[in-house]
Amino acid sequence: MTVRTTRTTAVAATAVALSVALAAPALAATPAEAGHDATRKAIEAAVDAGVPGVTATAQDGRSTWSATAGVGNLKSGKPRSAQDRYRVGSITKTFVATVLLQLEAEGRLSLDDTVEEWLPGLVQGNGHDGSRITLRQLLNHTSGIFNYTADEDFGRTYFLKDGFFEHRYDTKKPGELVALAMTHKPDFEPGTSWNYSNTNFVLAGMVIEKATGRPYGDAIRDRIIKPLHLTATSIPGTRVTVWQPSSRAYSKLAETATGPTYDVTKINPSIAYAAGEMISNSTDLNRFYTALLRGKLLPREQLTEMTTTEPVNEAIGYGLGLMKTELSCGVTVWGHGGGIHGSISEAVTTKDGSRSLAFNLNGDWSGDTGAVIEAEFCGKKPAKAGDRAGSDTKHRVDAGVRFAPPRIG
């Protein structure tokens, strides 16, 4: 479910998740219900592979199951909580796409409008041409616009140790992020291929602001967060902290998955903006994706648009800010993954919204998120530790979804 960058730059090459030994307390689960044993083992395996801690919540009809493993604080040994808030990275994209589709349903814009119509002169240079790119192509990553987080200088400045500790509190404006992307050539001609680009959703957030006359976060709060009572969900803007209850977030901030572990909890998330700045928890994410897939947030026409996918590989299709994944047992789940410094998250649900899972790892260098999803929906127990490389290749796509050092979006 999680997508990583295809670019083989020095920064992108650090996307190697290795098994790293970290001491952690035994798994705790509440309540102890049948049917989640494989998921418990997969969560515990992530901790064995080096992740400090994991929190997960599954919803099946009216039944809710939550479990935690490992620690939320390496210094104190405090365990993670099922109520933990965490940075959700590119899961933000589904919220943004939902708002744009709502605006389309209201007749305030069309997904066939061009970027140039809404943001004149912004997407120009080095072969980029906003008059040839539609809003739909932003949302399904067929625009060809360069991914600004793949810029090597940006990576060194914000995702490696020396740059991070000097610049972690910088405020970046969305126009600056787009301008950085424009210094590179497009990945391909609009509509001719698929490649994940965080720049697409920076632009999508700016279009929401142009269409509504307000910050894009206000639209998400008014249209999604408040109606669904997502009490743990927020758009932090430039706020550097995560409200309690929450755990610490950890990263290697290096080109390898070994070496010292750093606390990266505090960061100005404006470097992610509408591509990945939001904060939530597992309960809220399950509620959001369940409501979305059940048609509670979008009319049928717009939900059909959102779930019309572009093929990414044999198992994954990408719709409008929404991913479709066929698991090994034939079950299909919909949702998104994402990360930001020290935080890797996944949230998925079945098409009818009857079963959902959301979870978070508070370390960004290890852990097989695909194994957790397979365990919950297919009952598939994780491979032995010696067989794991710390990353799932079947359910991830090399396309840049992470905002996490070294994986971005």
CA angle 119–116–238, rounded 5-degree value: 25
C-alpha torsion angle, residues 217, 222, 227, 229 (rounded to 10): 50
- Which residue has 């080109």 as its token pair? 255
Rounded Cα gap, residues 304 and 287, in angstroms: 20
CB 204 within 8 A of CB 139: yes
Rounded Cα gap, residues 303 and 122, in angstroms: 29
- Strands of 119-253 (E only): list them: 124-125, 128-129, 250-251
Burial of 157 (0-12, 13-18, 19+ CB in 10 A): middle
How many Å is the Cα radius of gyration of the chain? 19
C-alpha torsion angle, residues 80, 170, 270, 162 (rounded to 10): -50
Structure tokens, 293: 């897939």
- Catalytic residue list: 90
Structure tokens, 176: 């600056």
List, in order, residues 6 or more apart from 167 with CB less than 8 Å away.
Answer: 157, 158
Q: How far is CA 389 from CA 259, 279, 369, 385, in A?
A: 17, 28, 12, 8
Structure tokens, 251: 């990263």
